Chains A and B, each alone.
Chain A
Amino acid sequence: MTKQIIEVENLSYKYKDATDLALKNISFKVQENQWLSIIGHNGSGKSTLSRLLNGLLVPEENPDTKIVIDGLELNSENLWKIRDKIGIVFQNPDNQFVGTNVQDDVAFGLENRNVPRSEMIKRVDAALSAVGMQSYKNAEPQMLSGGQKQRVAIAGIIAIEPKIIILDESTSMLDPEGRNSILKLIRKLQQQKGMTVISITHNIEETLHSDDILVLDSGKKVAQGKPEKIFSNMEMIKKAGLGLPFIYELKQELSKNGVEIPSDVSTEEKMVEYLCQLNSKM
């Protein structure tokens, strides 16, 4: 039986001095152990939403608003228990670096959770080697490149093994190879440790592998569903200011050139198969 790990109802948020709501009456659910991608244009409210989930921001007052994380309602009493369950990797790693060197930084979250020293050393080492940064253990933050700092930030979160991990554009500075290896690592953790992953991303290709996609447009939820369902609604995607995955763009371009591809050809593998089948008949 799958259980709901995140339940959000009627959530709104307005920044101080802003005229418009940054989030307008959002409701959604996430099943435990799922991979949810949140997409939307810059300023659509994605990061705001992630900060509301762990109480970094406080929602607009409304008796119908509810945030439930792993069975606990988010309120001042449960705040710290909930923060224990959620690890966020932010977009700009400079804002997250607290240690004077790499291993201290990764250990910070564990120290906060009173993990015994022997256990801590093991977990810091494991996390650093998982992201390929073990040889930088003693390096100071200013000696690292942007992408390396992102790796360290990710190690800091996986070391504490949270139930829910939120990636807020946290691989944006990695090269494609590095990004794939980090995503593979997170996917492995999701499968082995039963972690739930929420990934805020502009990398549309990456969302093709998620269980569920949530689309935000100007603070409103405009769609939630499986990738095939989301990307077949091209009008909605365009209206939300988003790009299409490669395969859908290729289909559009082919159609401009007079080649129509059936709608069930929805992944690159299927497209290769389809074209090669045509080819063998030629």
Chain B
Amino acid sequence: MSIEFKNVNYIYNQGTPFEYQGLKDISFNLTDGNFIAIIGHTGSGKSTLLQHFDALLKPTSGEIKLAGFDITSKTTNKNLKSLRKKVGIVFQFPENQLFAETILKDAMFGPLNFGMDADLAEKNAKKWLKRLGIKEELYEQSPFDLSGGQMRRVAIAGVLAYEPEILCLDEPAAGLDPVGRKEIMSIFKEYQKNGHTVILITHEMDDVAQYADDVLVLQQAKLIKHTTVADLFENPEWLAEHYLNQPHAARFAQTLKQNGFKLKQTPLTIEQLAKSISKKMREYNE
């Protein structure tokens, strides 16, 4: 099975003076079980695209096939609940989605809503709250007394608690401290490795390099590239033309190269960069 978008167009406020096109003729095929990054500038259509994965927005024209569903402009809201059980979305600032009177109830809402029995819902909610680093003594407190970063974690736990097949994330780490960012990104990576598909919107090329398999690049509502991470970052000229960055390690290697210090391969992470530098120095010493 795979996720397929075929000639998908989306027009906001069609037939009004505010009409504008959010997606233009988007087609792609994604392999289930992969980690896919969606990149592009603010306003390029990333969030619009993401909202099509669980039919919060339905294509104005074109067709989407995923998780056993066909979504077109004619799709009614009738059977969407079973789709949304399979496709979980963590929106920008998910802390705005919190609403229940206790942290535990908030994290249990998703599973209960999708028909899990209360015991299992509680078990799952607790499992994911714990995994996200929320201490047990907080479970009965209001989520609104938490700090911004902790609220974010509770909201994410609430989506993971119903263990959707496809997990869609819209800049889930924006505003988190670097240590927290690494923590939650590795949770998403682990979730993917355990047999789920993860779709991530991000501006952080270092995260793309470290976690993603494939990349979709959007520009002004169009898909301008769909490729592997290694291939994307092999081509600094193309990235620069589209005002996109390489990962920090690759940019640094580029500067080294311009100054006469050449590495064999483009490093994508600091670890790779340090290894290639030290290898080059060892080779010389030998």
How does the 8 Å CB contact mask read for B251-286 relative to A, with 1 for contact and 0 for none? 010011001110000000011011101100110100
Closest Cβ neighbor of A178 among chain B residues:
B42
Contact A276 B259 (CB under 8 A): yes
Which residues of the other chain, B, contact A282 by a CB distance below 8 angstroms?
A: 281, 284
Contact A15 B145 (CB under 8 A): yes
Nearest Cβ on chain B to A199's Cβ, whole angstroms: 14
Q: How far is the CA of A92 from the CA of B176 in the complex (A)?
A: 13
Contact B270 A148 (CB under 8 A): no
Contact A272 B259 (CB under 8 A): yes
Q: Does B73 contact A (CB under 8 A)?
A: no
Contact B145 A202 (CB under 8 A): no
Contact A254 B278 (CB under 8 A): yes
Knowing A94-B96, A243-B179 are in contact, say whether A42-B150 is a contact too (CB < 8 A): yes
Which residues of the other chain, A, contact B174 by a CB distance below 8 angstroms?
A: 172-173
Contact A173 B278 (CB under 8 A): no
Nearest Cβ on chain B to A96's Cβ, whole angstroms: 13
Contact A242 B274 (CB under 8 A): no
Q: Does B205 contact A (CB under 8 A)?
A: yes
Knowing A147-B42, A204-B178 are in contact, say whether A246-B147 is a contact too (CB < 8 A): no
- Tell me whether chain B's interface is mostly helix, strand or loop, or mixed: helix
Q: Does A17 contact B (CB under 8 A)?
A: yes
Within 8 A of B (CB), among A107-126: none
Nearest Cβ on chain B to A225's Cβ, whole angstroms: 20
Nearest Cβ on chain B to A241's Cβ, whole angstroms: 5
Closest Cβ neighbor of A258 among chain B residues:
B278
Which residues of the other chain, B, contact A17 by a CB distance below 8 angstroms?
A: 145
Contact A43 B150 (CB under 8 A): yes
Nearest Cβ on chain B to A91's Cβ, whole angstroms: 6
Q: How far is the CA of A265 from the CA of B191 in the complex (A)?
A: 39
Q: Does A280 contact B (CB under 8 A)?
A: yes
A contacts with B, residue count (CB < 8 A)? 51
Closest Cβ neighbor of A47 among chain B residues:
B148
Which residues of the other chain, B, contact A174 by a CB distance below 8 angstroms?
A: 42, 203
Q: How far is the CA of A175 from the CA of B43 in the complex (A)?
A: 10
Q: Does A206 contact B (CB under 8 A)?
A: no
Which residues of the other chain, A, contact B248 by a CB distance below 8 angstroms?
A: 246
Q: Does B180 contact A (CB under 8 A)?
A: yes
Q: Does A250 contact B (CB under 8 A)?
A: yes
Q: How far is the CA of A222 from the CA of B174 in the complex (A)?
A: 25
Within 8 A of A (CB), among B119-162: 145, 147-150
Closest Cβ neighbor of B245 among chain A residues:
A176
Within 8 A of B (CB), among A21-71: 40-43, 47
Q: Does B177 contact A (CB under 8 A)?
A: yes
Q: How far is the CA of A282 from the CA of B282 in the complex (A)?
A: 11
How does the 8 Å CB contact mask read for A242-282 relative to B, with 1 for contact and 0 for none? 11001001100110111100000000100111011011101
Q: Does B7 contact A (CB under 8 A)?
A: no
